[in-house]
Chains A and B, each alone.
Chain A
Amino acid sequence: MPLLGRVFELTLATYLVGAFASIAVWRRPALARRVCCSAGLTGAILGGFSAILAILRDKPVVWWVPSGIPLFTYSFSYDALAGFFNLALAVLAAAVSIYSFGYLKEFEGKRNIALFGFLFQLLLLSLTVIFTAANAFLFLISWEVGALASYGLVTFYHEDQETRKAGLLYIIMAHIDAGCLLLGFALLINASGSAEFSSFHAIAAHLSTRQQTAAFVLFFLGFGIKAGIIPFHIWLPAAHPVAPSNISALLSGIVIKTGIYGMVRIFVDSLGGVPSWAGLLVLVVGVISAVLGVLYALMEHDLKRLLAYHSIENIGIILMGLGAALIFRVAGHPQLAAVSLIAALFHTLNHAIFKSLLFLGAGSVQHSTGTRNMERLGGLIRPMPITALCFLIGAVAISGLPPLNGFVSEWLTYQSLLAGYGATGGLTRILFPLAGSMLALTGALAAACFVKAFGITFLALPRGAESQHAHEAPRTMLIGMSCLTLACAGLGLGATWFLPAFNTITEQLLGQRVGSSLISAGGVVLSAGTPRSGTVSTAIIAIGLLVVMVPAALLVTMGTKRFGRSRGPVWDCGLPELSAENEYTATAFSKALRMIFSVLYKPRREIQAVFDVSPYYPKEIRFESEIEPTFEKRLYAPLQEFIFRISARMKTIQAGSIHAYLAYIFVVLLLLLLFGVHK
């Protein structure tokens, strides 16, 4: 067995030992916290090492251990794709574990750290197995373990009504998606007679059109719900914000990416491609999720809910790249498909990094002020300078601005969408540049949203008492965030050095090595794979910016030295003593967009003013504003009502009499036997 195998087994063992060790020391919270975080960190380092080995290898490493149960085997296949997702997992797990040393401290004596540690290790373990499993049942079992572990972590503050409701919604949606996957796998197993992923690959070409359609729909639903695509997203902005922030970072960073992993694994690898309408559907769902995700994010002033909606947006951007890759593959452009797949996967990694960075930043803010409501925050850049800097870098990266990593993957997505115009025929080709323009809208709205998120939270004066006594986060939390901040900068500036890592992935999945054709001019310039398509260099842009800014700084310094620089009060229109109440709020900042997109939001507001003489001098104002939760109201509420109505009907056969139940069982048994004989 090669080194990779040993390291992988050690990774799984570390998480498993960590899980039970946390439980074992439950009487000593401080020790449990250290065990939990150090096991997470050790596992992450080992997992990251195994991931790098897998990415560098040309051939996957395969394990196969029979279990004695039919169809179920402990079979793993650690290929480059698995390595890539495990690398993302390892980076996040390491940063989150370091962060948690400080973050979990306030749990000591108040909450069950041992249970937290157990669920945390279990989640990391199940994710590692999901990315490497090569047997459908092993995959589904770890999928379920991951869902249950994250349910436990989401409802960690279970005394809160909102948290319990969010947890319930999460577990229901998680089971709908698991159900879809089970049916999808059942279909494939029925066709191939085996539950090994490798057997699916062999029969994929022999599936009938109807089977193909059914398999695509089931897997797209199952993985899509997990990834949070619109309209199945409603659980995501409910569940992610209520979890402890280190867990939110993992949930938005990597847990929803299991959906993306599943789509790549099944659609690109196992099924070896899907019909072109299916690729188109993925692209369109991506566009809708991206635009609506960011539009809903803009209306949030709960910092963590805002970030959760941005996860939906970024899943949309990833699906744009993936959809393009699926379309190009059936259209006979494997090289373009490889470039689009790289765009999607690179954005997956980038989003994992900057979104967990932002969630950790939001966690520091909540840790320090006790609130996530942006209308109560403000001015945190002074008491929390390092958190602010990390959050700012994350905000620039997620807005897709150069020279950071978000820009690189969005740039690649643009290039693959533009290439789609030439590579497809008919009316489909118009769709690609239109999708590109929607990506531009998404990017610009995301920038607006993060101006709001950073500007209202960290700049100007504190708006509430909570943020007046804010303090900087403990050192370990800052180190955790700094690691991810450096990764954002590194993957942005050094993109051309990182991209050849995709060579083995695209080679194993599509038989194409395009990594090196993406790089030109001595390794600093990124190009879109085809000649003359477009080039960019984030490293040169960064250097250029610095070079241009130096003389500007000299000019300003010379001026201020001679003519002075002083601090003065802000212009207050002659009314003295401006206070935080005069500041712009998050609601006010998004007002213009709320008016422009009122068709979507259907905003409602209510103002009640109490005044003595003139309405212009109110003594008291009550203001209420809300937008209509369209999907919840129009789609899910009728659905829920329908289910309740059906359930009420079903009550008539649920008489509570044991005889009736025995009769039901007998009838069902009889029917099954008849069915079996008939077959």
Chain B
Amino acid sequence: MTRVLINSALQLVLALLVAPLLGGVIKTLKARLQTRRGPGILQSYRDVFKLLRKGMVVPETASWIFSAAPYIVFGTATLVALMIPMTTTHAPLSLFGGVLAVVYLLALGRFFLALGGLDTGSSFGGLGSSREMTISAIAEPAMMLAIFTVALGANSTNLSEMAGAAVSQSWRFLAPSQMLAFAALFIVLIAETGRIPVDNPATHLELTMIHEAMVLEYSGPYLALIEWGSSIKQLVLMTLLVNTFFPYGLSSDWSAQAVSLGLAVYLAKLLLLGGLVVLVETTNAKLRLFRVPELLMVAFILGALALISTFLF
């Protein structure tokens, strides 16, 4: 019991602190690749800290849904961060929710954020909500297919079990099904975290924004919670990718050495995946909204191929 509590506390701190850092690192890497100086890797901390110390303006038209949404976004993201193995094969809350619960809890956060966008009565909010729900709906089957491919291999939808099964066969990622599933899930990651070519996190141009349109009316501490929650969600999805496909360094015992090695390898893996995301963002232009479904269809077909190749090989 105490071990679970310590593990939870450690992972909670890790999730809360690493998530903004990861965002900052991605921003800086991207800037460097575009020969800009960039804001520095600590910028996301500064943003959250600044927003927490600002006054807040709530639209006159908004109801309690508008105020509830930030808590639910932040709460669901933080909770799923405890269900996913980060540095050890045992996620603290893995028993209480597997990968299905992770996907559906993130959907719960999205559901309320989309309602928050509609609640303001502004056209931007509705526009963002509509686009966010549409893109996530199309991304969902591809995501599930890719996840199922891994889950069927591990015989479980429990993330600790999945990570454990992956650890025991360390060259498994070379299997065609795993590579295809990784590719599918990577596209879904791009779409779900609102990155180029699906959405541009740096823009406030009304015709192109998705996530930013939905949260346009939020300010102060509410916005801090949403931004923080979104960065935790990004961390969770990236962790899902790196730890289920490349489970190296996940410690299964509790010695200080194993845990610190696990932490170092975990951060290195995140950095690599972050680098990949940056590379994609820099080398691609943003797609038109109605080209996005085609990209996600590619992800779905990759997922289906992954599934069929588990069956063949």
Contacts and interface: CB of A to CB of B under 8 A. Distances in A.
B15 to A, nearest CB: 11
Contact of B101 (A450, A536, A564): A536
Nearest to B122: A570
A536 B155 contact: no
B138 A565 contact: no
B158 A566 contact: no
B161 to A, nearest CB: 6
B193 to A, nearest CB: 16
Nearest to B73: A552
Interface stretch (B25-33, B89-97, B237-245, B265-273): B89-97
A461 B61 CA distance: 7
A522 to B, nearest CB: 11
Contacts of B152: 418, 421-422, 433
B122 A571 contact: yes
Contact of A447 (B137, B290, B300): B137
A434 B307 contact: yes
Interface in A500-521: 521
Interface stretch (A14-22, A147-155, A212-220, A400-408): A400-408
Interface string B217-258: 100111011000000000000000000000000000000000
A555 interface: yes
Contacts of A469: none
B111 A396 contact: yes
Interface in B24-64: 52-61, 63-64
Contacts of A590: 130
A566 B54 contact: no
A534 B28 CA distance: 39
A343 to B, nearest CB: 13
Contacts of A454: 115
B79 A565 contact: no
A440 B139 CA distance: 10
Interface string A557-601: 001101111111111100000101011100011111101100000
Q: Majority SS of interface residues in chain A? A: helix
B53 A570 contact: no
Interface stretch (A70-78, A182-190, A357-365, A542-550): A542-550
B290 A556 contact: no
Contact of A536 (B76, B97, B129, B304): B97
A588 B64 CA distance: 24
Contacts of A354: none
B121 interface: yes
B151 A451 contact: no
A204 interface: no
B54 to A, nearest CB: 6
A583 B137 contact: no
Contacts of B61: 379, 460-461, 570
A441 interface: yes
A559 B104 contact: no
Interface residues of A, number: 84
Q: Which of B58, B103, B133, B151 has the most CB of A within 10 A?
A: B133
A443 interface: yes
Given A437-B145, A451-B115, A532-B155, A552 B137 contact: no
A535 interface: yes
Q: Which of A434, A459, A560, A595 has the most CB of B within 10 A?
A: A459
B156 A400 contact: no
B203 interface: no
A447 B151 CA distance: 24
Contact of B71 (A415, A544, A552, A591): A552
B134 interface: yes
Q: Which of B63, B64, B110, B124 has the most CB of A within 10 A?
A: B63
B180 interface: no
A556 B96 contact: no
B23 interface: no
Given A545-B76, A570-B120, A437 B148 contact: yes
Given A455-B114, A459-B115, A596-B290, A537 B141 contact: no
A434 B311 CA distance: 13
B119 A459 contact: yes
A382 B65 CA distance: 11
Q: Which of A418, A429, A433, A571 has the most CB of B within 10 A?
A: A433
A459 B101 contact: no
Contact of A559 (B52, B98, B114, B311): B52
B60 A592 contact: no
Contacts of B303: 437
B133 to A, nearest CB: 4
Contacts of A447: 107, 110-111, 133, 137
B141 to A, nearest CB: 4
Contact of A448 (B104, B119, B120, B133): B133
Contacts of B70: 552, 556
Interface in B177-234: 216-217, 220-222, 224-225
B144 interface: yes
A523 to B, nearest CB: 13
Q: Which of A434, A544, A563 has the most CB of B within 10 A?
A: A544
14 contacts: A448-B134, A525-B96, A532-B161, A534-B161, A535-B95, A535-B96, A545-B79, A553-B71, A560-B56, A563-B55, A565-B55, A565-B56, A565-B220, A588-B126
Query: Which 10 A-B pairs rank lowest in CB-CB distance, beginning with the nearest?
Result: A584-B126, A455-B118, A534-B157, A460-B121, A448-B133, A444-B137, A444-B140, A440-B144, A559-B221, A437-B141
